[in-house]
């Protein structure tokens, strides 16, 4: 819980917390934050700039950079967001359907573009 002067201000729910590779977190944070990704496509020049900013703070290996799109693609391919939607009793279960639709669009994009994305990221100069 995060508390302020007059009580609880927020609750962090760790129910589905888990450990993922940092490259998955980087690409995921970009996809969820960048408005241009709402249509299910990655803007490669903008994403490359995003990753370059990350590299100014923390290094990644060339292998990390190259594998980033494949790690994300695999994760969205094996996560069953539709199951979560159909089996949820939560009042806000529509969020799962929105997530499923975005993931489906992103899988279609990565199926066509993962190799080009990996090649572009690998040129960003990670550690060997």
- Establish if 43 belongs to a structural domain: yes
Q: Is 119 left (phi over 0), alpha (psi -120 to 50) or beta?
A: alpha
Q: Which residue has the higher pLDDT, 97 or 125?
A: 97
- pLDDT, residue 87, reads 86
| pTM recorded for the entire structure | 0.77
pLDDT per residue as tens digits for the range 37-69: 999 999 999 999 999 999 999 999 999 999 999
- Establish if 68 belongs to a structural domain: yes
The number of folded domains in the chain is 1
- Establish if 5 belongs to a structural domain: no
- pLDDT, residue 83, reads 83
| pLDDT more than 70, % of the chain | 95
- Establish if 13 belongs to a structural domain: no
- Establish if 85 belongs to a structural domain: yes
Domain carrying residue 84 = 20-122
- Establish if 4 belongs to a structural domain: no
- Establish if 9 belongs to a structural domain: no
């Amino acid at each position: 819980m995060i508390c302020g002067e007059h009580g609880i201000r927020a609750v962090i729910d760790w129910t589905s917390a888990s450990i993922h590779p940092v490259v998955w977190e980087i690409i995921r944070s970009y996809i969820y934050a960048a408005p241009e990704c709402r249509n299910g496509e990655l803007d490669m020049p903008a994403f490359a700039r995003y990753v370059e900013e990350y590299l100014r703070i923390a290094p990644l290996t060339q292998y990390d950079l190259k594998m980033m799109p494949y790690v994300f693609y695999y994760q969205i391919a094996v996560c069953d967001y539709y199951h979560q939607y159909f089996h949820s009793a939560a009042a806000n279960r529509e969020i799962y359907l929105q997530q499923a639709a975005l993931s489906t669009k992103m899988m279609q994009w990565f199926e066509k573009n993962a190799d080009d994305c990996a090649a572009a990221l690998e040129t960003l100069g990670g550690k060997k």
